[in-house]
Structure 1
Amino acid sequence: MLTIIDKYILKRYLATFAVMLLLFIPIGIVVDVSEKINKMLENKVPFLEIALYYYNFTVYFANSLFPIFLFLSVIWFTSKLANDTEIIAILSSGISFTRFLRPYIIGASIVSVFVLLMGFFVVPAASEGFNNFRYTYLKGGGKEAMRGDNTDVYRQISDDEFIYVNSFNTESKTAFNFSLEKFKKQQLVHKITASRIKWNPKDSTYTMYDYTKRTVGELNDKIEKLPQKDAVFTFDLEDLTPVVYIAETLSLGKLNAFIEKEKERGSSNINVYLVVLYKKYSVPVSAFILTIIAVAVSSMKRRGGMGTNLAIGIALAFAFVFFDKIFGVLAEKSSIPPMLAVWLPNIAFGILAIYLLRNAKR
């Protein structure tokens, strides 16, 4: 049963975290608007789409920087408790430091469950809307955004078939510079190319424009050319989208199914998908680790006051985010197992949390 002190600390924990979000999210929006307003005006973006974009931006931004917001909020109000000698009074009443941590752990549990559910269901949809807007209106400027070297997508869709697109427009469901190659015993059988290929959701077909099919013969090749051709393919629409983009936009169940499908295909990008999956579980756990570190650092009354605690807190928070990003990239680009890379920051900072907590108890 929660005591008055538990309720008091828990209320401060959740309220300060909420206030920290409300303070920093508007700043993030203002900075984003100042950077993108010219592109929005140039492309005549409708107001409703801008409003929806900033809703998605808020969810995406808050989820990305959640560890920093949580850590700073705990540092802030715990330092204030320490400076007002409230922590000394609580511990002097006979409550142990471990018992003093209980409302913090309860608060971290509430935040973790919230972040976990958001990551499973809400963040993927927000990520899709956020990326759709960027690629449609902001990246490259225009409806055919995402037409750049860094958006090339190569996929093996079966044992002997490979597809490639230069870019993909999520709003029109259109891919550009499409090609499909079919092999038999490592020999090219035929190659289909099109300047663009559009998905037709009504009948689940694709329409190819500037269609060309080259069938390789023993002596002569057969070439078929049409300005437009409808066809049914075995690959999914998601196969045409960039690697990280599709992984970030899938809910938990769809992401698991997608990963299994990619494993069966022997996809070379499987580590990218696994990093996205494992982070859905590792990020909520970081709430407990960062909470313990924040309490251990800020529960002591220091000569420099709250400023010293905040400086230490900011340094540790950004160090956590830095290592989280670095190991995520290493998992995608190197041979490090994705699960190990994703959980290493939590393991390292968990050890730090235990060390700081033992010192704080003394």
Structure 2
Amino acid sequence: MSLLNRYVVRQLTTATLYALVALLALYFFFDVMGQIGDVGQGSYNNAKMLWYVTLQIPAHAYELMPLAVLIGGLVALSQLAAHSELTVIKTSGVRLRRIIGMVLQFAAVFAVATLLLGEWIVPAVGQRAEQFKLNATQDKISAGTRSGIWIKQNNDIINVAEMLPDSSLRDITIYRHNDNFELTETVHAAAATPLHAESGNDATWHLQQVRRTELQSNRAVAAHADTLEWPAAVSRQLLNVLLVEPEQMSIAALGTYVQHLQDNHQQTTRYELAWWRKISYPLAALVMALVALAFTPQQTRHGNMGLKLFFGVCLGLAFHFAGRLFGFSSQLYGIPPFLAAILPTLLFACLAVWLIRKQERR
């Protein structure tokens, strides 16, 4: 990498990091305001609230990365233009193609960071954050990353290992006790589904592939059953800590689950859309860098930097809401998930290329 490339990339990267930190600080403040009302529930105190909000930072960083690239790129390139550095670079023989290459080199770093956050860091940290808050606010629930979730209901202790996006449970174990809290029976089921999911009634679950072991005075009696109705008044809200949201699943996990739904002849649109968005979202950093270059004026000595920053934020928000709009349209009107996921990025990329070419002709 040449000296000029390193200088431009460093300026762009520094400005983007400042923008990302500022945006995260703003979101941190809003999260604190939103969590204050929960302080005092169980052992959820101010220190635990601040730690929970801190664990939300990777998820916010993932969401805000393209916006930070846009704002940072716009600020850095505007400063280069204001100091006539951009003019000097162009008049010294550096072609537009090379300038675009430098901008894309800078954006590629944040695209890779977005991919790493979305695939490994956000799912793990997000689940740990919800488990941490649940442990602090609920006295009868213990959630662990490896052991699943533990729930005490009357004289029963229930362990649920996993909850899938369709609200079905996997690997459930029930420990039944008598009034003296002596273990009398264990029930293990490979899977469970709510019998009345349509009406929202969670009081009865349909257990599948059940193994029961009854502990008698001098022996243990085992029995097997294909299905069993389980009257467990466990709120689905308490189990949502195990719910793997499509947006938080990795590309590989989403692909596996989409295949599972297809094999069982179930609706896959939401998960296919999430899969394509996971693939295309890192590219948004590259596109936002091009948009920043496209909207960088040649001379900003008399320009209003605050207005340009506001315009940059509006562009980033437009991109964010365009993605959501196309996502809803895909589910409502049957737009192919691939098209709904890639179209906002493609439209902004075409806009950036058109404006760059128009600016160069001048």
Answer whether TM exceeds 0.5 for this pair.
yes
Residues 294-343 of structure 1, C-alpha deviation per residue, up to 9 Å, x if partnerless? Answer: 01101422443323422332221111111012112333444222221111
- Report the Cα distance in structure 2 between the residues aligned to 1:306 and 1:106, rounded to whole angstroms: 25
- How many Å apart are 1:291 and its aligned residue? 0.6
The one-letter code of the counterpart of 1:94 is G
The one-letter code of the counterpart of 2:159 is W
Contact preservation (8 Å) 2:42, 2:138 = yes
- Report the Cα distance in structure 1 between the residues aligned to 2:243 and 2:351, rounded to whole angstroms: 31
The worse-fitting range, judged by mean Cα deviation, of 16-25 and 70-79 is: 16-25
- How many Å apart are 1:133 and its aligned residue? 5.1
The answer to whether the aligner puts 1:199 opposite 2:175 as a matched pair is: no
- Over 3 Å counting, the alpha-carbon distance change for 1:98 and 1:144 in structure 2 is farther
- Over 3 Å counting, the alpha-carbon distance change for 1:263 and 1:52 in structure 2 is farther
Residues 254-306 of structure 1, C-alpha deviation per residue, up to 9 Å, x if partnerless? Answer: 332222222212233x2222222222211111111111110110142244332
Contact preservation (8 Å) 2:171, 2:190 = no
- Report the Cα distance in structure 1 between the residues aligned to 2:243 and 2:82, rounded to whole angstroms: 45
- Report the Cα distance in structure 2 between the residues aligned to 1:143 and 1:271, rounded to whole angstroms: 38
Residues 106-127 of structure 1, C-alpha deviation per residue, up to 9 Å, x if partnerless? Answer: 1111211221122111111123
- Report the Cα distance in structure 2 between the residues aligned to 1:208 and 1:332, rounded to whole angstroms: 41
The one-letter code of the counterpart of 1:64 is E
Other-structure match for 1:309: 308
Provide TM-score, normalisation by structure 2.
Answer: 0.71
Unmatched segments (≥5 aa) in structure 2: 162-169, 177-183, 194-206, 208-235
Other-structure match for 1:266: 265
- How many Å apart are 1:28 and its aligned residue? 1.6
Contact preservation (8 Å) 1:53, 1:129 = no
Q: How does 1:221-240 map to 2 (within 5 A)?
A: 230-235=186-191
Contact preservation (8 Å) 2:56, 2:129 = yes
- Over 3 Å counting, the alpha-carbon distance change for 1:327 and 1:197 in structure 2 is farther
Contact preservation (8 Å) 1:75, 1:298 = yes
Other-structure match for 1:254: 253
Residues 207-255 of structure 1, C-alpha deviation per residue, up to 9 Å, x if partnerless? Answer: 288xxxxxxxxxxxxxxxxxx9743334279x98669743344333333
- How many Å apart are 1:174 and its aligned residue? 6.0
Other-structure match for 2:167: none
The answer to whether the aligner puts 1:338 opposite 2:337 as a matched pair is: yes
- Over 3 Å counting, the alpha-carbon distance change for 1:208 and 1:276 in structure 2 is farther
Contact preservation (8 Å) 2:65, 2:110 = no
Other-structure match for 1:16: 15
Other-structure match for 1:65: 64
Q: How does 1:130-209 map to 2 (within 5 A)?
A: 130-132=129-131, 142=138, 173=149, 198-199=158-159, 204-207=171-174
Provide TM-score, normalisation by structure 1.
Answer: 0.71
- How many Å apart are 1:64 and its aligned residue? 1.3
Contact preservation (8 Å) 1:289, 1:349 = yes
Residues 126-164 of structure 1, C-alpha deviation per residue, up to 9 Å, x if partnerless? Answer: 232344456666xxx75689xxxxxxxxxxxxxxxxxxx
- Report the Cα distance in structure 2 between the residues aligned to 1:353 and 1:289, rounded to whole angstroms: 8
Q: How does 1:26-41 map to 2 (within 5 A)?
A: 26-41=25-40
- Report the Cα distance in structure 1 between the residues aligned to 2:243 and 2:296, rounded to whole angstroms: 37
Other-structure match for 1:125: 124
- Over 3 Å counting, the alpha-carbon distance change for 1:90 and 1:44 in structure 2 is same
The one-letter code of the counterpart of 1:247 is P
- Over 3 Å counting, the alpha-carbon distance change for 1:263 and 1:84 in structure 2 is same
- Report the Cα distance in structure 2 between the residues aligned to 1:236 and 1:98, rounded to whole angstroms: 57
- Over 3 Å counting, the alpha-carbon distance change for 1:104 and 1:136 in structure 2 is same
Identity of aligned residues (%): 21
- Report the Cα distance in structure 2 between the residues aligned to 1:142 and 1:254, rounded to whole angstroms: 29
Q: How many pairs were matched up?
A: 299
- Report the Cα distance in structure 1 between the residues aligned to 2:289 and 2:24, rounded to whole angstroms: 21
- Report the Cα distance in structure 1 between the residues aligned to 2:269 and 2:333, rounded to whole angstroms: 9
SS in 2 for 1:199: strand
Root-mean-square deviation over aligned CA pairs:
3.5
- Over 3 Å counting, the alpha-carbon distance change for 1:204 and 1:305 in structure 2 is closer
Other-structure match for 1:284: 282
